[in-house]
A and B are shown apart, each in its own frame.
Chain A
Amino acid sequence: MRRHGLDAKILAGGQSLVPLLNLRLTKPKILVDLNGVSGLDHIRETSAGLRIGAMTRQSGVERSAIVREKCPVLAEAIRHIGHLAIRHRGTIGGSLVHADPAAELPAVALALDAKFEVLGDGMARAVCADEFFIDYLTTSLRPDEILGEIIFPVLQPSSGYAVEEVARRHGDFAVAGVVAVVDLDGEGKIIGPRVALFGVAPTAVRARAVEQAMIGQQPGNELIRDAAALLRDMLDPPGDIRASSAYRKRAAAVLTVRALTKAVQLCHTRRLS
């Protein structure tokens, strides 16, 4: 990568890159295939969280017992990615670096404040999620860097979470979606709410205003509805043939209500068990 810079492209699972090559939308001179490189395919529990190698297949993460136990929202989000065959090839790193605004994984990374371990020129640097995603299909990776590992913080056993999205067909990229995580304190008040949206902006986005509106509050339908209503001023989604801007805006709010409601419910059940 150092030698070829912008002329080269990493090939991971190929589920985004190969369609682009087919359509002649990208024409790299060199492909660097990471599929034969060892040390990039693992899921490890550490004090910092779950360290997941960039080349770990999406289906492997989805089925991993440790992911399901420690960071179940990640497994839940991956279920929504394409079809099983795509998840068998597609990698965690590939999805995050590709940074499709409608992809699930960038939203999970943002919601959880995941850390990105970036490798380049004999050096490693850590980038936090909100500095990783820059723009439409653009990250802060430099041309001579690759993504090595992602660290996803573990969730509390009592955390509630949900991933809600609307896609035109089963397995399609979402036209709008939301990842929500909440916890409740001893008095049943909301702590640490996290809401990230996808499909409604050039990158996945944190809905911090919605989170703020819920911190320390007693959860209820009205609270959630009012909090989600704040999205109206926050979003100006793109429109295309799959869905208009107005539709995406409205769907984002509805899905946020649904996701938060589900997450709170799950919190209650998990606290009971």
Chain B
Amino acid sequence: MAETSSRFIGRSIKPYKSKRFVTGDGTYVSDVCLPNMLHAALLRSMHAHARIGAIDVKEALAIDGVVGVWTGRDIEERISPFPESFEIHPLPWLEGVKPVLQGPRPTALAKGKVHYVGEAVAIVVAADRHRAEDAVDAIGIEYEPLPVVVDPEESLQPGATLVHDGSNNNVVFSFSIEKGNVNRALGAQPTMLRERFRHHRYCAAPLEGRGVVAWVEPKTHMLTVWSSTQMPHLVRRQIAAQLDLAEENVRVIAPDIGGGFGPKVFVYPEEILIPFLALQLGRPVKWIEDRSEHFISTAHGRDQLHDIECAFDQEGRILALRDRFLLDNGAYNPMGLTDAYNTAAHLQGPYKIPNLSVSGTCVSTNKVPNAPYRGAGRPEAVFVMERCIDMIATRLHLDPAEVRRRNFIQPQEMPYQAGILYRDGQPVCYDSGDYPETMNRALQGAGYTELRARQPELRRSGRYVGVGIACYVEGTGVGSFEGAKVRIDASGRVIITTGASSHGQGHETVFAQIAADLWGLTPEQVSVVEGDTASIPFGCGTFASRSTVTVGSAIHGASAQLKDKLLQVAAHMLEANPDDLELAGGRVSVRGLPQRAVSFSELARAAVPGWASKLPAGLAPGLEATFYFEPRTVTWANAVHVAVIEVDIEIGTIKLLDYVVAHDAGKLINPLLADGQVHGGVAQGIGAALYEELAYDENGQLLSGSFVNYLLPGSMEVPKIKIFHLESPSPLNPLGVKGLGEGGAIAPPAAIANALADALSPFAPRVNAIPLTPDLVLELLAQKEVRSEASAV
């Protein structure tokens, strides 16, 4: 198809139809209210590990308005278990990496044993939520507590408590990858780092938690389910499979979604239970997760422990890196190797690492299951690598920016083969980008040179100001596919339908901009329909910085097909040659003869079947084309973050003075929305670095199960973020785009940790773990006091 000029791509158009989000008029799952609707509440385990004894539901059933109570026994015959993992591993990857996988299969309600605090044990349906919760309180349940394993290292010890009956150990899966010869390189090199890094457990905490409404149309038995999910098609598949229904009879709608960020990429027990109950009861049933449930039942993220060895030469060039890491999976493993393998695949970052060996082991513990959260394994990798770079700089008395420069892959080396496989089974190959320039822009934006010059004077006056750099690359636009259906209706509008599912990204605007340019229309003349399995047969969903790449390319592909057809119809009507026609303003005209034209609306009305048809012979009716884009592999975005902080060394508090992001996500469709994505991601990354923490005690009780103790950053904690965009187009798709949804969240923990180590450099602190709480900062300072006392003796 002929390239159209870009009139809307690249423009900072305000998001369409977004006023509803500001005025509170969005339609979220909890806004779905149906006549005669019942409400569900769940009894969740208070124990981290226990055998379930007798369950007494008499008192609960006696409460006025309670319709029923279901336990694991009541459903075991009727709801089949979940799969071990929802991730699909491509064959070339399985053959190349040869991972060992042995996951347990969760059931919708616990049976026999509970494995973590929060696991669903019973579900109550009542006339309203209040009574359903009263009934949950009234259920009598006997538990026989079992020993608990909360520490991932302990979980690996011989004789450790086994989280799952029938397993030999707590390892859920393991893998290792290698390039070059790490043993030899490490053996030959005297200068080494040996460090242990911990990236703690925290969670996405979307404003809207999960929620499900299910309704069965009494005449057709058609089941409609509204769910706060990132993956409507997957939810449909799973409901049909686990309830033994025809997919044909199940429709899943993801209405407005108040944030997803990863934990909504797989299917939860409630997404099966609520449809099951609606089918059982013949009435609509609703369940809306409250925040207390969210913390103990929606997937957590991160939680990795890395032991690294890194060899480097006297110039600071990395020669070899070995990383053995543990991922604390919690009790189940819904997303397979996604996070762990992402960590391995992103560890090298924008650097040339000649010898690399990474082995990951994922273990079960009695905690909430772990799953992808914005960045999905990358923030952990970046934390490790970027701390290493700064530690090398400290050892060699070099500027950390200089050490990065010496290790960067250079722009003329693009495309660059990184020597390992990606999760999609293809070799990791950075497609485009200028890493040194990205860093230059970030450093300039932060006034790096001036800051470094001022630092000694600030220190003399007792001010501990530090600068931290963190670089990363991100594989974006991952497969396996996403589709778009492009249709022109009788009003002449272009309607885009896709299986992606926006939860705040602004798809409606971005996809309309892309289609507007392809069709010579304005974005207002394009409608975007998402989040409904009834509108397109196949869909993956929205996750992993992928939708603009995959859906944008699918819109491109479908538009090319449809344009072909449109021109044939127009040529027939205008009695012209298709090659002589052009598109503009919603019309097709003969080049040079603008009055010989036919509008999209007329064309749509001509392309119908039957007596009104004006189609040329042999052409099928309808102005519609569907294209599924199956990317061969990912595009590689990159960015550099710079954090400037000041530390109060008496009370250990950290203040962010400045935050700068230089970001390259290829061709930008809408810079304003891109900024929004980066802002949100950075805010979440700041939360990770300084505030948010899901800590468990030794009994497996969560210590931060509400917003009283789970500290999300607010507007006062997030500084103004300066963003600089670079645009290195990707050669891998027709639009030249790369993904950017996750990026903002990937680097802040590393950048802020580096800034802290820099600010406190006179004390030589070992900043190897986050969050950087005031407690931790004082501890780091005390270590130095202890060390210097020891050396004084």
A188 sits at the interface (CB 8 A): no
Query: Which of A35-43, A210-218, A243-251, A259-267 is the interface stretch?
Result: A243-251
B713 adjacent to A169 (CB under 8 Å) = yes
One of A23, A240, A254 near B292 (C-beta < 8 A): A23
B256 within 8 A of A: no
Q: How far is the CB of B526 from chain A (nearest CB, A)?
A: 40
Interface residues on chain A, number (Cβ under 8 Å): 21
Neighbouring B residues of A166 by C-beta, 8 Å: 651, 653, 774
User: Which chain A residue has the least Cβ–Cβ distance from B137?
Assistant: A24
| B709 touching A171, Cβ below 8 Å | no
**When the two chains form the complex, which single residue of A169, A241, A251 contacts B714, counting CB atoms closer than 8 Å?**
A169
With contact pairs A166-B774, A251-B651 given, residues A241 and B716 touching in the complex (Cβ less than 8 Å): no
Asked if A169 and B651 sit within 8 Å, CB to CB, the answer is no
In the complex with contacts A169-B717, A254-B651, A247-B709 CB distance below 8 A? no
Asked whether A171 lies within 8 Å of B716 as measured between CB atoms, the reply is yes
0/1 interface trace, chain B 686-706, chain A, CB 8 Å (1 if under): 000001010100000001101
User: Beyond A23-B292, A23-B706, is A244–B775 a contact (Cβ under 8 Å)?
Assistant: yes
| Residues of chain B within 8 A of A241, CB atoms compared | 693, 695, 703-704, 709
Is B3's CB within 8 Å of the partner chain A? Answer: no
Contacting pair B650 A254 (CB below 8 A)? yes
Whether a CB of chain A sits under 8 angstroms from the CB of B652 is: yes
Q: Which residues of the other chain, B, contact A243 by a CB distance below 8 angstroms?
A: 773-775
A-side contacts of B714, CB under 8 Å: 169-171
Q: Which residue of A lies closest to B717 (CB)?
A: A169
- B653 / chain A contacts, CB cutoff of 8 Å: 166
Q: Is B133 part of the binding interface, using a Cβ–Cβ cutoff of 8 Å?
A: yes
Q: Mark B645-669, 1 if CB is under 8 A from A, else 0.
A: 0000011110000000000000000
| Residues of chain B within 8 A of A24, CB atoms compared | 133, 137
* A261 vs B678: C-alpha distance when bound (angstroms): 42
Contact partner, A247, options B292, B652, B717, Cβ 8 Å: B652
**Is B778 a contact of A247 with CB atoms below 8 Å?**
yes
User: Using Cβ atoms and an 8 Å threshold, which residues of chain B touch A172?
Assistant: 711
A168 within 8 Å of B by Cβ? yes
Report A250 CB to chain B, min CB distance, Å.
7
B704 / chain A contacts, CB cutoff of 8 Å: 241
- Find the A residue at minimum CB distance from B712: A169
CA–CA, A175 to B651, complex, Å? 11
On whether the beta carbons of A247 and B691 are closer than 8 Å, the reply is: no
Measured CA separation A240–B713 after assembly (Å)? 19
Complex CA–CA separation, A180 to B292 (angstroms): 38
Instruction: Enumerate A1-46 residues with CB–CB distance to B below 8 Å.
Output: 19, 23-24
Interface residues of B in 743-793 (CB under 8 A from A): 773-775, 778
Bound-state CA distance A177–B704 (Å) is: 22
A255: interface (CB < 8 Å): yes
CA distance A13 to B653 in the complex (A): 31
Whether B716 and A170, one on each chain, are in contact in the complex, defined by CB atoms closer than 8 angstroms, is yes
Please indicate the chain B residues that have their CB under 8 angstroms from the CB of A175 in the complex: 774
Interface residues of A in 163-218 (CB under 8 A from B): 166, 168-172, 175
- Residues of chain B from 405 to 457 with CB closer than 8 A to chain A in the complex: none
Q: In the assembly, what is the distance between CA of A170 and CA of B773, in Å?
A: 14
Asked if B711 and A169 sit within 8 Å, CB to CB, the answer is yes
A169 touches B709 (CB 8 A): no
Bound CA–CA A19/B773 (angstroms): 26
**CA A242 – CA B691 in complex, angstroms?**
9
User: In whole angstroms, how far apart are the Cα atoms of A32 and B68 in the complex?
Assistant: 34
Q: B716–A169 contact, CB under 8 A? A: yes
Contact residues on B (Cβ < 8 Å of other chain), bracket = 20 to 34
Is B774 a contact of A247 with CB atoms below 8 Å?
yes
For residue A255, which residues in chain B have a CB less than 8 angstroms away from its CB? Answer: 651
Residues of chain B within 8 A (CB-CB) of A244 are: 775
Q: Say how far B42's CB is from chain A's closest CB, in angstroms.
A: 14
Expressed in whole angstroms, the Cα–Cα distance for A171 and B651 within the complex equals 18
- Closest B residue to A166 by beta carbon equals B651
C-alpha spacing A247/B776, complex, angstroms: 9
Chain B residues with Cβ below 8 Å from A19 are: 708
Contact code string B204-235 (vs A, CB < 8 Å = 1, else 0): 00000000000000000000000000000000
Nearest chain A CB to B497 CB, angstrom units? 40
Chain B residues with Cβ under 8 A from A247's Cβ? Answer: 652, 774-775, 778
A169 to B691, Cβ gap below 8 A? yes
Closest to B133 in A: A24
- The residue in chain B whose Cβ has the minimal distance to the Cβ of A242 is B709
Interface residues of A in 132-188 (CB under 8 A from B): 166, 168-172, 175
Return chain B residues, CB-CB under 8 Å to A240: 703, 709
Which residues of B sit under 8 angstroms from A254, Cβ to Cβ? 650-651
CB distance from A82 to the nearest CB of B (A): 11
CA distance A168 to B133 in the complex (A): 33
Return chain A residues, CB-CB under 8 Å to B717.
169-170
What chain A residues lie within 8 Å of B703 (beta carbons)? 240-241
Which of A171, A244, A247, A255 has the most chain B CB atoms closer than 10 A to its own CB? A247
Complex interface: chain A residues within 8 A of B691 (CB): 168-169
Rounded to whole Å, the gap between the CB of B29 and the closest CB of chain A is 20
Chain A proximity mask over B573-595: 1 for CB below 8 Å, otherwise 0 = 00000000000000000000000
Is B706 a contact partner of A251 (Cβ separation < 8 A)? no
Task: Give A24 to B292 CA distance when docked, in angstroms.
Answer: 11
Closest-by-CB residue of B relative to A239 is: B775
Q: In the assembled complex, which residues on chain A have CB atoms less than 8 Å from the CB atom of B774?
A: 166, 168, 175, 243, 247, 251
Contacts of A170 in B (CB 8 A): 714, 716-717
Closest Cβ neighbor of B693 among chain A residues: A241
Shortest CB-to-CB span from A122 to chain B, Å, is 37
CA distance A247 to B777 in the complex (A): 10
Query: Which residues of A have CB within 8 Å of B650?
Result: 254
C-alpha gap A242/B652 in the complex (Å): 13
Whether B651 and A168, one on each chain, are in contact in the complex, defined by CB atoms closer than 8 angstroms, is: no
How does the 8 Å CB contact mask read for B267-294 relative to A, with 1 for contact and 0 for none? Answer: 0000000000000000000000000100
C-alpha spacing A96/B691, complex, angstroms: 28
Closest-by-CB residue of B relative to A250 is: B778
CB distance from B9 to the nearest CB of A (A): 39
Tell me which residues from 226 to 248 in chain A have a Cβ below 8 Å from any Cβ of chain B. 240-244, 246-247
Q: Closest B-chain residue to A243, C-beta based? A: B775
CA distance A175 to B653 in the complex (A): 12
Q: Which residue of A lies closest to B290 (CB)?
A: A22
Q: How far is the CB of A239 from chain B (nearest CB, A)?
A: 9
CA distance A169 to B586 in the complex (A): 53
Q: How far is the CA of A247 from the CA of B693 in the complex (A)?
A: 18
Residues of A within 8 A of B695 (CB): 241
> Which chain A residue lies CB-closest to B707?
A19
Which single residue of chain A is at the shortest CB-CB distance from B713? A169
A272 to B730, CA, bound (A): 69
Instruction: Give B105-147 as 1s and 0s: 1 = Cβ < 8 Å from A's Cβ atoms.
Output: 0000000000000000000000000000100010000000000
Minimum CB–CB distance from B698 to chain A (whole Å) comes to 14
* Chain A residues closer than 8 Å to B651, beta-carbon distance: 166, 250-251, 254-255
Report the separation of the CA atoms of residues A166 and B653 in the bound assembly, to the nearest whole angstrom: 8
In the bound complex, CA of A255 to CA of B652 (Å)? 12
- Chain B residue nearest to A175 in the complex (CB): B774
How far apart sit A241 and B295, CA to CA, in the bound complex (Å)? 15
Q: Which residue of B lies closest to A176 (CB)?
A: B651
Q: Write out the residue numbers on chain A whose beta carbons fall within 8 Å of the beta carbon of B708.
A: 19
C-alpha gap A270/B17 in the complex (Å): 56
A247 nearest CB neighbor, chain B only? B775
**Docked CA distance A77–B706 (Å):** 26
Q: Give me 11 A-to-B residue pairs in the complex whose CB atoms sit less than 8 angstroms apart, sorted by A's number.
A: A23-B292, A166-B651, A168-B711, A170-B716, A170-B717, A171-B714, A240-B709, A241-B704, A243-B773, A243-B775, A254-B651
Q: Enumerate chain B interface residues (CB-CB to A < 8 A).
A: 133, 137, 292, 650-653, 691, 693, 695, 703-704, 706, 708-709, 711, 713-714, 716-717, 773-775, 778
Q: Enumerate the 9 nearest inter-chain pairs by beta-carbon distance, A residue then B residue, closest first.
A: A170-B716, A247-B775, A254-B650, A241-B703, A251-B651, A241-B709, A166-B651, A244-B775, A254-B651
Not counting A169-B713, A169-B717, A240-B703, a sample of 12 additional A-B residue pairs whose C-beta atoms are within 8 angstroms of each other reads: A23-B706, A24-B137, A166-B651, A166-B774, A169-B691, A169-B714, A170-B714, A241-B703, A243-B774, A250-B778, A251-B774, A255-B651
